[in-house]
Structure 1
């Protein structure tokens, strides 16, 4: 069956394609680079499936949000996979071969999370919004705007793109337009935490404290779920040389997001400052194992070498 062949060909576990969560690529770029994030790999699989006449179903997975920080922006990464469906020949459907789920994060045990089907247009919106967010981090504002227009043309109620556009308006000094978009997002989903978080920023900047307080009641719970809240507190404590306090905050950040290499790096250097060289080395090795960034790898390897030479 063709869908079985494609599943074997695309299988990231066999070394054909490598999962890399840092950049969103087009299907052709993913094919050429042999790597991509989950959305890039899904798009590549779907593109090949289309050429082979294999039908697909896209699925969004309700995993806990994966937080990242780039260029002063907090980014929340979701997860998507797809199913390859057995072929229909004429009026005959082969029922001996079932649908095959393709997922590039097997360690996230799909049995544990709800999933729901999404349309191709929504996946296309996700793609353009991802590219827009990456452009926004690089301060390529015109490029980000064009990509967001493409995203919202696919689905004009796609909340992540509405939020990204509002952030872009705020960066460009257009607070009224940004506020209108946050209100639109909250009209679609009154509990959208991204819209609430960003709306609270605008209200605070304008000293609209009564409105800010109302939003902040909801926002406080969301803030304490953000691992970078604890990371920021840890960083401040470290630079204030309050090392025991910094250790507690770094550990809290890791409890929320044990996949972030910079949290372990912070923990390592704090242990080093307290004289606990063994734990410092253990956590530096953990930071090194978690990063795919070449600059961070060199930095952590250099730190490890210095620790061993000490």
Structure 2
């Protein structure tokens, strides 16, 4: 069952004069830099470099790829069904964006949150899909109704999907349908505008990664398909799909990282390293790029260079608590408990309101037989959690620690 939620109609606004407009713009930029993990804009020649690095000949013949304009296409039957509901006289008093929302909610009540990336039509046919599938379908209906829409990225606690020789970590995207009846006033700056966010099970345990553009969203679609092909060891197909992804978002660090991983698995270590180096020009502190680049260097027996990258990892300023959590969990699973604690404490430093860093520190301390300290961190984790299932788990672990 889907759970949707609504952003209230109030808007945060700020009146301004010509004098304080510059200051306001500076404040807005500061907030965006602080919240968004995407690097600052780079020169056009730098952006083209990552596309120039791509050697598509490595991937063989190009397979058939769904064109971007077909992703949101619905059958005539489904369009007619939507308009019958949307234009019904008994719905005319409902705001247009709310009508779109209601239609989605009514028709997807038995929707299966299945981890496949589908087009809009495939999502209807299967009555299933991941968050991108839901966002694609929402976009398709919004386009039919001529409702403005937008996307936001949310980084959630890592959900590890260990398949083949790869470990995937899920991210999240959601759609906002803007209220077309909202009237903007002159000389007002709106930090956000009223609308409805369509999302699966909203959680407090997430981290906003910022706004995603339409092109960035399309890039996510192809990137997901590329990741799926990679899991099936279809490296050539994965390569072409990630190229398609980069056409829409040349600075996507996730797509750049994926491209480098694909090259590595094709034993093209030279191209893989070149891609990592280009990606690190866009964001020198991105943990995904740094950690995977270090693995590549170790594979190439470049131990000294790998050690230098490890130093960069330890001093990185990556703002995402969940990327640090991923790194901490990796070290914990490798029984490197002191290193894990260091990264768990990074999570606490960045996001002290999340329970994950405290719980991770507690379990690592327990492995080191520091049970008194472990108990204290587990108590804090219990205080910070807002989920009944997680609370029950922490209480059980705390009961075990009480015995020491």
Question: Could you state the TM-score of these two structures normalised by the residue count of structure 2?
Answer: 0.52
Counterpart of 1:5?
Answer: 99
Cα distance per residue 1:62-93 (max 9 Å; x no partner): 434433222111112111111101226xxx84
What is residue 55 of structure 1 aligned with on the other side?
A: 148
Matched with 2:329 is 227
- Flag the 1:98–1:199 CA change in 2: closer, same or farther, 3 A: closer
2:266 counterpart (172, 176, 179): 172
Please say if residues 156 and 170 of structure 2, whose CA atoms lie closer than 8 Å, have aligned partners that are also in contact: no
Q: Whose Rg is larger?
A: 2
Q: Deviations over 1:195-249 (max 9, x none)?
A: 111111121122212111011234469587453554565xxxxxxxxxxxxxxxx
Within 5 A, what are the aligned runs for 1:1-310?
A: 1-11=95-105, 15-20=109-114, 22-87=115-180, 93=183, 98-106=194-202, 108-109=203-204, 113-114=207-208, 116-219=210-313, 222=324, 225-227=327-329, 229-231=331-333, 255=359
Contact 1:24 1:131 in 2 (8 A): yes
Q: CA deviation at 1:143?
A: 1.2
The structure-2 alpha-carbon separation of the partners of 1:12 and 1:135, relative to structure 1 and needing over 3 Å to count, comes to: farther
Are the structure 2 counterparts of residues 54 and 161 from structure 1 closer, same or farther at C-alpha, using a change threshold of 3 Å? same
C-alpha distance in 2, partners of 1:168/1:226?
Answer: 25
Mapped contact 1:128–1:148 kept (Cα < 8 A): yes
Contact 2:158 2:326 survives alignment (8 Å)? no
Q: Distance in 2 between matches of 1:187 and 1:26?
A: 33
1:164 partner SS: helix
Q: Structure 2 CA distance, aligned partners of 1:173 and 1:190?
A: 25
TM-score by length of 1: 0.67
Report SS of the residue matched to 2:175: strand
2: CA distance, partners of 1:138 / 1:232: 26
Change (3 A) 1:226 1:74: farther
Q: 1:14 to 1:39 in 2, by over 3 A?
A: closer
C-alpha root-mean-square deviation of aligned residues, in Å? 3.1
Where does the alignment leave 5 or more consecutive residues of structure 1 unmatched?
234-251, 257-285, 287-310
- Shift of residue 113 of structure 1? 3.7
| Pair 12,47 (structure 1): closer, same or farther in 2 beyond 3 Å | same
Secondary structure at 1:11 match in 2: helix
Q: Which has the higher contact order (CA 8 A, sep 6+)?
A: 2
For residue 171 of structure 2, give the secondary structure of its aligned residue in structure 1.
Answer: strand
1:86–1:94 Cα contact (<8 Å) kept = no
* Alignment: residue pair count: 233
